[in-house]
């Protein structure tokens, strides 16, 4: 029972330590966060288009798992997001 408790404590300690923010110290002694960026995969275009009501044509992309989506831009915030398409 002690082994199980020790193992679970060490597991959760390691889990939370891996999720911590990475920081470095600059020359003046201030701590600066290190931003890590994920490598984005290139989009796979299908060659087809999704036509909106106001006759805007958006290219359809496909993920590695086969789900189809279009890249939309929000009118309010200007952020780009994926709108997944439901096929029948």
pTM over cut 0.85? no
Is residue 71 over pLDDT 90?
A: yes
Query: What is the widest separation between alpha-carbon atoms in the chain?
Result: 66
Whether residue 56 contacts residue 63, with contact meaning beta carbons closer than 8 Å, is answered with no
Give me the phi and psi of 10, to 5 degrees please.
-65, -35
Pairing mode, if any, of strands 80-84 and 68-73?
A: antiparallel
User: In this predicted model, what pLDDT tens digit does every residue of 6-65 receive, in sequence order?
Assistant: 778 877 767 666 666 778 888 998 988 888 777 777 889 999 999 988 788 999 999 988
Question: What pLDDT is attached to residue 32?
Answer: 87
Give me the phi and psi of 75, to 5 degrees please.
-70, -35
Least Cα distance to 58 among 48, 69, 50 occurs for: 50
Question: What pLDDT is attached to residue 50?
Answer: 92
Work out the pLDDT band at 3, boundaries 50, 70, 90.
confident
Domain-wise residue ranges, the chain? 44-84
């Amino acid at each position: 029972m002690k082994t199980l408790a020790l193992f679970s404590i060490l597991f959760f300690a390691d889990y939370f330590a891996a999720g911590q923010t990475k920081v470095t110290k600059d020359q003046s002694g201030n701590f600066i966060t290190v931003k890590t960026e994920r490598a984005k995969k290139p989009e796979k275009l299908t060659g087809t288009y999704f036509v909106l009501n106001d006759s805007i044509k958006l290219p359809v992309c496909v993920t590695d798992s086969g789900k189809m989506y279009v890249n939309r831009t929000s009118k309010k915030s200007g952020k780009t997001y994926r709108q997944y398409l439901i096929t029948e």
